[in-house]
Amino acid sequence: MNRRKFLSHSAAAMSLACLGRPSVWAAGADARIEVFLDETIGHISPDIYGHFTEHIGGVVYDGIWVGEDSKIPHQRGIRSALVEHMRQIKAPVIRWPGGCFADSYDWRDGIGPAAKRPRRTNFWEVDGDLARLKEKGAQVFEPNSFGTDEFMRFCKLCGAEAYLAANLRSLPALVFDQWVEYCNSPVGSTTLAEMRAANGSAAPYGVRFWGVGNESWGCGGNFDPKDYASEFRRFTTWIPRYGVDLQLIGSGPSDNDTDWTHAFFDQIFSGPHAYHNDQFAGWSIHHYSFGFMRDKATGKVEQSDALQFDRDGWYNLLNDCASLETIMNDHWATMEPYDPQHHVKLVVDEYGPWHREGTELDPTHLFGQQITVRDALGTALTLDVFNRNAEKILLATNAQLINNINALFLAHEDRFVATPNFYVFAMYAAHQGADAVRADFAAPNIQYTANGKQANLWSVNGSASRKGNTLTITVVNTELDRPMETQVALRGASAKEAKAETLASSDMHAHNTFADPQTVMTKNLSCSITQGGVALTLPPASVNRLAIELT
User: How far apart are alpha carbons 288 and 317 in whole angstroms?
Assistant: 10
Taking 60 as the threshold, does the pLDDT of residue 22 lie above it? no
* One domain for residues 240 and 271: yes
Comparison of pLDDT for 14 and 57, the residue scoring more? 57
- Report the percentage of the chain scoring pLDDT > 90: 83
Asked if pLDDT for residue 551 goes beyond 80, the answer is yes
What tens digit of pLDDT does each residue of 219-245 get?
Answer: 999 999 999 999 999 999 999 999 999
Rg of the chain on CA atoms, in Å: 24
Pairing of the two strands 161-166 and 527-530: unpaired
Q: Is residue 439 part of a domain?
A: no
3-state per-residue secondary structure call for 182-244: HHHCCCCCCHHHHHHHHCCCCCCCCCCEEEECCCCCCCCCCCCHHHHHHHHHHHHCCCCCCCC
Q: Give mean pLDDT, residues 248-268.
A: 95
pLDDT of residue 326: 97
Provide the pLDDT for residue 135: 56
476 and 391 in a common domain: no
> Which long-range contacts link 198-203 to residues 24+ away (Cβ below 8 Å)?
199/111, 199/112, 199/149, 200/149, 200/153, 201/149, 201/152
Q: What is the average pLDDT across 434-441?
A: 98
| DSSP letters for 65-104 | B--TT-SS-EETTEEHHHHHHHHHTT--EEEES-SGGGGG
CATH code of residue 392: 3.20.20.80
Residues spanned by the domain of 317: 47-432
Residues 369 and 477 in one domain: no
Query: Is the C-alpha dihedral spanning 173, 176, 181, 184 positive or negative?
Result: negative
> What percent of the chain clears pLDDT 70, i.e. is strictly above it?
93
Let me know how many helices (H) and strands (E) the chain has, helices first.
11, 28
Residues 400 and 515 in one domain: no
**Quick one: 396 and 464 in the same domain?**
no
Q: Both 325 and 469 in a single domain?
A: no
Are 283 and 303 part of one and the same domain?
yes
Q: Is the residue at 19 inside a domain?
A: no
- Sorted by sequence, the CB contacts under 8 Å of residue 52 that are 6+ apart come out as 94, 95, 96, 99, 349, 350, 397, 398, 399, 400, 401
Cβ neighbours of residue 273 under 8 Å, at least 6 residues apart?
A: none
CATH number, position 473 = 2.60.40.1180
Q: Is the peptide bond before 97 cis (omega within 30 degrees of 0)?
A: yes
Asked whether residue 394 falls in the same domain as residue 541, the answer is: no
Q: pLDDT, tens digit, for every residue of 301-342?
A: 778 899 999 999 999 999 999 999 999 999 999 999 999 999
Which among 372, 405, 432 is the end of a domain?
A: 432
In a domain, 290, yes or no: yes
Residue 10 has pLDDT above 70, yes or no: no
Q: How confident is the model at residue 133 (pLDDT cuts 50, 70, 90)?
A: low
Q: 292 in a domain, yes or no? A: yes
Which pLDDT belongs to residue 18? 27
47 CB neighbour count, 10 Å cutoff: 22
The reply to whether 245 falls in a domain is yes
3-state SS, residue 357: coil
**Across residues 155-169, what is the average pLDDT?**
98
Q: Which residues, at least 6 apart from 286, have a Cβ–Cβ distance to it below 8 Å?
A: 215, 252, 253, 254, 255, 348, 349, 350, 351
Is 437 within the bounds of a domain? no
Nearest C-alpha neighbor of 503 from the set 330, 324, 372: 372
Question: What is the pLDDT, as a whole number, of residue 3?
Answer: 32
Q: Alpha carbon of 307 to those of 176, 313, 375, 393, 507: distances in Å?
A: 42, 11, 10, 32, 11
The pLDDT assigned to 149 comes to 98
Report pLDDT for 131.
55
Which of 399, 432, 465 lies at the terminal end of a domain, its last residue? 432
Same domain, 202 and 342: yes
For residues 136 and 105, state if they share a domain: yes
Whether 10 is covered by a domain: the verdict is no
Give the type of residue at 215: E
Assess whether pLDDT exceeds 50 at residue 280.
yes
Q: Is residue 18, in this structure, part of any structural domain at all?
A: no
**26 confidence band (pLDDT: 50, 70, 90):** low
Q: Kindly give, in sequence order, each residue whose CB lies less than 8 Å from that of residue 194, ignoring residues fewer than 6 positions away.
A: 188
172 pLDDT more than 80: yes
pLDDT, average across residues 415-432: 98
Domain boundary among 400, 432, 464: 432
Computed over every residue of the chain, the mean pLDDT equals 92
Question: Which helix H or strand E contains 418, and what residues bound it?
Answer: strand 415-418
Number of domains in the chain: 2
Please, are residues 324 and 282 in contact by the beta-carbon 8 Å criterion?
Answer: no
Kindly indicate the confidence band of residue 16, based on its pLDDT and cuts at 50, 70 and 90. very low
* Co-location of 278 and 205 in the same domain: yes
Confidence of residue 499 (pLDDT cuts 50, 70, 90): very high
Per-residue pLDDT for 12 more than 90?
A: no
Segment holding 7, helix H or strand E = helix 3-9
Query: Is there a single domain that holds both residue 477 and residue 398?
Result: no
Q: For residue 254, count CB atoms less than 10 angstroms from its CB and return exposed for 0-12, middle for 13-18, buried for 19 or more.
A: middle
